[in-house]
Amino acid sequence: MKPRGLLVAVALLAVLGGLTWWSNKKQAAASKATGDTTTKILSIPGDQIQDILVKKPSGSVELHRQTGSTWQITQPASLPADADAASGMVTTLSALNADTVVDAKATDLAPYGLVSPTIEVQIGERGGKTDRLLIGDDIPTGSGSYAKLANDSRVFTIASNVKTSIDKSPDDLRDKRLLTFDSDKLTRVELQAKNQAIEFGKNNSGDWQILKPRPLRADGSQVDTLINALKDARMDLSEDSQKAAAAFASAPKLATVTVTDANGNQTIEVRKNKDNSFYAKSTAVAGIYKVTGDIGKSLDKGVDDFRSKKLFDFGFSDPSYLEVNGVAYSKTGDKWMSGTKAMDNSSIQTLIDKLRDLTASTFQAEAGQEKVFDAAVTSSQGKRNEKVTITKEEGKYFAKRQDDPGIYGLDAQAVQDLQMAASGVKEAAPPPASKKK
């Protein structure tokens, strides 16, 4: 390389080295200025927080812990608090970290909007100690806010999501449930809809059954959908109470539901107006509210909507005994037998699948006269015994379960598939002959 080119390369290398040094120094200085990102503002055991008062120019809201995870709004009115909303605020305040320390010994709070804070939070502990958190202006980048403790000279920045989790109104914090029952301890549900009175109760196995208008098998998933809709029924507080009350008064009744758990009964009445909006009043809370969610769709049902259409309830438990058209099959270990004959497991399994999937297409008042098929299934280690008889009348098929007053209408194809599966059961193939040596 020529001497002149060598000098240019050296000069460029020196410039790059200087720039790197300056960049590293600047980053170190910036890091020092912004401070430790793990600086604690508050560190309080969550279970020790007893009261939270959020004060804003627009008004105040106060939370008081009653027991464990149960909170009550005490300002501006006495209202049950939403457990999740209260817990979220406790989580934020109990372990509040700073993003940065912008001033370690602030003497002038005006530049940070902390002379007249936008939010003041008072946190009261069980032992009587109280902390005051002040939140001021948003920082110029818009990614956080200035904050400080009233008895601390330091000014911090906190993340935007931290401010959001604290900046709550009474409507944000109140329990918006219209029914507060414990679904795990629910024992009765009474629905009045479509000019029918339907009552559901649990049997000895803990499964839902229809008790009224007459004892019938219930589709557990449909009853659970109803219960979940009731549990999820929430107040829509975007509509003022007077307008909601007027809409409720002028709307026809859609349904009334009473639920019973270990604490007693709760009742909700739901009405539907002409623009398909739903309004409700409940014995669990005062007032009338517009209702959010799909509660209307879940309540606008008759008894047949809740009836089980499955002919067999053994589900995915393994049957241990079958009797089809007078032929018995029993399971020993992993083998199916018919008397002393070993049966082909796959053909038995095809039959079981068809029995499991047998589903009614309609509900009927009467069965047919011509018997075409019957099957009995024992499952759940001998605890569940089911028997179904299929009859025919004028080309239509009907099914009846033993000890069940209901008559089920079946599709002809489903019956044909079942008959084919039954006729396809065969003996197991003999083991291959051993080769002679």
Q: Work out how many domains the chain is built from and give that number.
A: 3
> pLDDT per position in the chain (437 positions), as tens?
444 554 444 444 444 444 443 333 333 333 334 444 479 999 999 999 999 999 999 999 999 999 888 999 999 999 999 999 999 999 999 999 999 999 999 999 999 999 999 999 999 999 999 999 999 999 998 789 999 999 999 999 999 999 999 999 999 999 999 999 999 999 999 999 999 999 999 988 889 999 999 999 999 999 999 999 999 999 999 899 999 999 999 999 999 999 999 999 999 999 999 888 999 999 999 999 999 767 888 999 999 999 999 999 998 888 999 999 999 999 999 999 999 999 999 999 999 999 999 999 999 999 999 999 999 999 999 999 999 999 999 999 999 999 898 999 999 999 999 999 999 999 999 888 766 65
169 and 191 co-located in one domain: no
Q: Please report whether residue 61 resides in a domain.
A: yes
pLDDT tens digit sequence for 43-92: 999 999 999 999 999 999 999 999 888 999 999 999 999 999 999 999 99
pLDDT, position 293: 64
Do residues 167 and 217 share a domain?
no
Helix H or strand E segment including 138: strand 130-138
**Nearest-CA neighbor of 422 among 398, 390, 380, 400?**
390
Distant-in-sequence, close-in-space partners of 276: CB < 8 Å, separation ≥ 6: 296
Residues 168 and 249 in one domain: no
Tokens of 177: 């449930």
Same domain for 79 and 199? no
- Alpha-carbon distance of 85 to 72, in angstroms, equals 11
215 with 260, same domain: the answer is: yes
Q: Which residue has the tokens 């240019």?
A: 8
List the CATH number of the domain containing 112: 2.60.40
Other beta carbons less than 10 A from residue 144's beta carbon: 19
Residues 340 and 255 in one domain: no
Q: How would you label 87-125 residue by residue, b for 16+ Cβ within 10 Å and e otherwise?
A: eebbebbbebbbbbbbbeebeebeebbbeebbbbbbbbe
Helix or strand holding residue 12 (H, E): helix 3-34
Nearest CA among 59, 153, 186, 157 for reference residue 99 = 157
Residues 356 and 300 in one domain: no
Q: Which of 280, 306, 332 is the last residue of a domain?
A: 306
Residue 5 falls within a domain, yes or no? Answer: no
Residue 63 domain-assigned (yes or no): yes
Spatial distance between the Cα atoms of 182 and 285, rounded to a whole number of angstroms? 16
Q: Angle of helix 412-423 relative to helix 345-357, nearest 10 degrees?
A: 160
In which domain, by residue range, is 81 found?
Answer: 40-173
Could you tell me if 192 and 292 lie in one domain? yes
Of 264, 283, 306, which marks where a domain is finished?
A: 306
pLDDT of residue 187: 95
List CB contacts of 404: < 8 A, sequence separation 6 or more.
Answer: 216, 217
Residue found by looking up tokens 């003022």 in the block: 240
Which of 129, 146, 173 finishes a domain? 173
CA neighbours closer than 13 Å in the CB half-sphere of residue 218: 27
> Does any domain span residue 113?
yes
**How crowded is residue 371: how many other Cβ atoms within 10 Å of its Cβ?**
12
In a domain, 16, yes or no: no
Task: Assess whether 145 and 211 both reside in one domain.
Answer: no
Q: Within a domain: residue 76?
A: yes
Give CA–CA dist 398/367, Å, rounded.
Answer: 6
- Would you call 305 helix, strand, or coil by DSSP? helix
292 and 189 share a domain? yes
The β-bridge partners of 288 are: 281
Question: Does 6 map to a domain?
Answer: no
Q: Answer yes or no: is 45 within a domain.
A: yes
List pLDDT tens digits, range 234-267.
999 989 999 999 999 999 999 999 999 999 999 9
Residues ≥6 apart with Cβ < 8 Å to 60: 53, 54, 75, 76
Helices (H) and strands (E) in the chain, counts: 10, 29
pLDDT digit string, tens, across residues 186-230: 999 999 999 999 999 998 888 999 999 999 999 999 999 999 999
Question: What is the model's pTM?
Answer: 0.79
Same-domain check for residues 362 and 244: no
Statement to judge: residues 292 and 338 lie in one domain? no
